[in-house]
């Protein structure tokens, strides 16, 4: 896949935004320069059923307007029902090869990984990219697991140089360049965007850090 589509990967669900309008948050992030979006509707107060489908369809329409891939977290049936661009699964959310078979070869498939072996397995089973983390301490995800650090990204790059890698977990504007320098294709962000007073500006600032890190012209 095109690695540039993963440079600034925004993840959001209604439990992450403190009562804000999710579509307003998403559009501000799109204006700020996110390159991919994942709807991750989990946790206390998360939408389900008809409400979830409605939000997903509205998010998809916004992403299409900005030509940004729209990815659904875990819910393969929903992703297929609304014709999302892809699906992202965790280690306990399904067998990667079975999910790939179900969604077909044209949709994006991402897999959360926490070790080299998990990344190797995901790649062999047909994942387009892996999420690696948590890289740093994070409050955005319950039971996130132990921090793995950016060294794991370097290790995966060594063994799988062609695999798209997205770093996730506790990444702030100031830490984004560390993740890129470790060899990641991009960074996945939740709270560093959703908690910003000006979401569009916060997004644009993070995007700027990533761009500088990728071009190697940081001051």
Residue 204 known to be catalytic:
no
The domain spans of the chain are 3-215
Residues in the chain with pLDDT values less than 70:
140-144, 217-219
Task: Determine the Cα–Cα distance for residues 129 and 149; give it in Å rounded to an integer.
Answer: 18
* Predicted TM-score of the model (pTM): 0.95
Residue 141 known to be catalytic:
yes
| Catalytic choice (60, 100, 107, 112) | 112
Tell me the CATH number for domain 3-215: 3.20.20.70
Residue 177 has, within 13 A of its CA and on its CB side, a CA count of 12
pLDDT at 141: 63
pLDDT at 218: 58
| Catalytic choice (60, 100, 141, 209) | 141
pLDDT at 143: 65
Cα 1–169–188 angle (5° rounding)?
30
Residue 209 known to be catalytic:
no
Q: 119-177: per-residue pLDDT in tens? A: 999 999 999 999 999 999 877 666 667 899 999 999 999 999 999 999 999 999 999 99
| CB-CB contact of 125 with 163 (8 Å) | no
| Catalytic choice (5, 40, 60, 209) | 40
């Amino acid at each position: 896949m095109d690695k540039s589509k993963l440079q600034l990967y925004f993840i959001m669900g209604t439990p992450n935004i403190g009562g804000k309008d999710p579509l307003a948050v998403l559009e501000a992030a799109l204006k700020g320069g996110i390159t991919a979006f994942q709807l991750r509707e989990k946790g206390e107060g998360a939408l389900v059923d008809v409400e979830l489908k409605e939000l997903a369809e509205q998010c998809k329409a916004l992403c299409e307007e900005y030509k940004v891939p729209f990815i659904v977290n875990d819910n393969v049936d929903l992703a297929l029902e609304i014709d999302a661009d892809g699906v992202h699964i965790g280690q306990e959310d399904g067998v990667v090869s079975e999910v790939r078979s179900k969604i077909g070869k044209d949709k994006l498939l991402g897999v959360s990984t926490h070790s080299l072996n998990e990344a190797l397995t995901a790649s062999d089973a047909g994942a387009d990219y892996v999420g690696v983390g948590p890289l740093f301490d994070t409050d955005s995800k319950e039971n996130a697991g132990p921090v793995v650090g950016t060294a794991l990204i370097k290790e995966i790059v060594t063994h799988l140089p062609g695999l798209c890698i997205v770093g996730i977990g506790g990444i702030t504007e100031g830490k984004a360049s560390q993740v890129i320098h470790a060899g990641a294709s991009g960074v996945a962000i939740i709270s560093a965007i959703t908690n910003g007073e000006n979401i569009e500006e916060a997004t644009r600032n993070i995007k700027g850090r990533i761009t500088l890190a990728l071009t190697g012209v940081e001051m």
